[in-house]
Amino acid sequence: MQTSFVFAQAANPMDTFPLVMLGILAIVFFMVILPQQRKAKEFAATMDKIRRGDTVVTSGGFVGRVSKVVDGSDEIEVELNDQMKVRVLKSTLISVRAKNEPVKDSASKAG
């Protein structure tokens, strides 16, 4: 008795490899690269809008108030307390908080 084995014939893996790689690259681009580019643009716009009186957080963890902004420079002067002012590169800032606005009294409106 003679037995023959039938093997399933698959397509050559090299035929589908470029399509798979193209799909993976598209997924990586839309889920990783594009959002990072948007975030970088937003951060650059925020850094350009820094003004005196804004509260900033540096990458070292210091929280201070901007006391001087030099146009055309990438440095700002941050006041950490009454006696200490430091010059900081804008690129080392983590976040910028808007200038503190006084809270409006709701009782004065009601009365």
| Closest alpha carbon to 96 in 64, 66, 67, 55 | 55
Distances (CA, A) of 47 to 74, 84, 89: 9, 22, 10
Paired strand residues for 63: 57
C-alpha 69/C-alpha 71 separation (Å) is 6
pTM: 0.61
Tens-digit pLDDT string for the chain (111 aa) = 666 666 666 667 677 888 899 999 999 999 999 999 999 999 888 888 888 889 999 999 999 999 998 877 889 999 999 899 999 998 899 988 876 555 455 555 554
Tens-digit pLDDT profile for residues 63-79: 999 999 887 788 999 99
C-beta of residue 90 within 8 angstroms of C-beta of residue 77: no
**Fold of the domain built from segment(s) 50-101:** SH3 type barrels. (2.30.30)
